[in-house]
A = this chain, B = another copy of it.
Amino acid sequence: MENLNLSEKDLTVSRLGDTRIDSPLGLSTHYGDLIANYIEENASVTLLQDRDEIIRCVKNKKFLAAFVQAGPRKKIFFDPKHTTAAIVTCGGLSPGINNVIRASVMELYYRYGVKAIWGIQYGFRGFNPTHGLEPKKLTPEIVKGIHELGGSFLGSSRGPQDIGEIVDRLEQMKVDMLFAIGGDGTLHGAEAIHREVMKRNLKIAIVGVPKTIDNDIAYVEKTFGLETAFSVAAEAIRSAHTEAIGAPNGIGIVKVMGRYSGFIAANAALALNEVNFVLVPEVPFDLEGPKGLFPHLKKRLQDKGHAVIIIAEGAGQELLQSDVMQRDKSGNLKLKDVGLFLKQAIAAYFKSIQMDVNLKYIDPSYLVRAVAANAHDAIYCVQLAQNAVHAGMAGFTGVVVGRWNNQFTLVPLKLAISERKFLNPEDPLWLTVIEATGQPFKMINE
Task: Report which A residues bind B (CB closer than 8 A).
Answer: 25-28, 31, 33-37, 42-46, 48-52, 54-55, 58-59, 64, 66, 69, 71-72, 93, 99, 102-103, 106-107, 110-111, 122, 125, 145, 147-152, 155-157, 221, 227, 230-231, 234-236, 238-240, 242-243, 245-248, 252, 267-268, 270-273, 283, 328-331, 333-334, 340, 360-367, 370-371, 374-376, 378-379, 382-383, 386, 405-408, 425-428, 430-432, 434-436, 438, 441-442
In the assembled complex, the Cα of A308 lies from the Cα of B107 at a distance in Å of: 19
Of B34, B110, B151, B235, which one neighbours A245 at CB under 8 angstroms?
B151
- In the complex, what distance in Å separates the CA atom of A442 from the CA atom of B28? 12
Closest approach, in angstroms, between the C-beta of A45 and any C-beta of chain B?
Answer: 5
A426 contacts B242, C-beta separation under 8 Å: no
Question: Nearest 6 CB-CB pairs, A to B?
Answer: A239-B370, A271-B375, A151-B242, A36-B431, A231-B375, A405-B405
A238 to chain B, nearest CB (A): 7
Find chain B residues with CB under 8 A from A268 CB.
375
Q: CB distance B238 to A436 under 8 Å?
A: no
Asked if A378 and B272 sit within 8 Å, CB to CB, the answer is yes
12 A-B interface contacts by CB (under 8 A): A35-B442, A36-B426, A46-B48, A150-B239, A155-B245, A236-B367, A270-B383, A273-B382, A330-B331, A360-B366, A363-B363, A363-B365
Known: A66-B51, A379-B267. Contact between A425 and B36, CB under 8 A? yes
How far is A105 from B333 in the complex, measured between Cα atoms in Å? 43
Cβ of A35: which chain B residues have Cβ within 8 Å of it?
Answer: 425-426, 441-442
Q: How far is the CA of A119 from the CA of B43 in the complex (A)?
A: 48
Please tell me if the beta carbons of B435 and A111 are within 8 angstroms of each other in the complex. Answer: yes
Instruction: From known contacts A103-B436, A428-B408, A431-B27, infer whether A51 and B34 are also in contact, taking CB-CB under 8 Å.
Output: no
Residues of B within 8 A of A125 (CB): 248
8 further A-B contacts with Cβ under 8 Å, apart from A148-B149, A157-B247, A239-B371, are: A36-B430, A45-B49, A54-B54, A54-B58, A243-B366, A271-B375, A333-B334, A364-B367
A55, B50: Cβ atoms closer than 8 Å: no
State the oligomeric state as a number of copies.
4
Closest to A358 in B: B157
Q: Which residues from chain B contact A425 at a C-beta distance below 8 Å?
A: 34-36
CB distance from A396 to the nearest CB of B (A): 17
Q: Is B247 a contact of A122 with CB atoms below 8 Å? A: yes
The residue on B at minimum CB distance from A239 is: B370
Whether B283 contacts A34 by the Cβ 8 Å rule is yes
Chain B residues in 8 Å Cβ range of A110? 438
Inter-chain contact A36/B427, CB cutoff 8 Å: yes
Could you tell me if A54 and B49 are in contact, using CB atoms closer than 8 angstroms?
no
The answer to whether A436 and B386 touch across the interface, beta carbons within 8 angstroms, is yes
CB proximity of A361 to chain B, nearest CB, Å: 7
Is the beta-carbon distance between B54 and A50 smaller than 8 angstroms? no
CB distance from A276 to the nearest CB of B (A): 12
Q: Least Cβ distance of A230 to chain B in Å?
A: 6
Q: Distance (Å) between the CB of A62 and the closest chain B CB?
A: 11
Closest to A38 in B: B431
CB distance from A100 to the nearest CB of B (A): 12
> Given the known A-B contacts A375-B272, A431-B27, are A370 and B242 also in contact in the complex, defined by CB atoms under 8 Å?
yes
Residues of B near A378 (CB, < 8 A) are: 234, 270-273
Q: A107-B435, A334-B333 are in contact. Are A45 and B54 (CB under 8 A)?
A: no
Query: Which of B58, B111, B407 is A55 in contact with, Cβ under 8 Å?
Result: B58
- Find the B residue at minimum CB distance from A236: B367
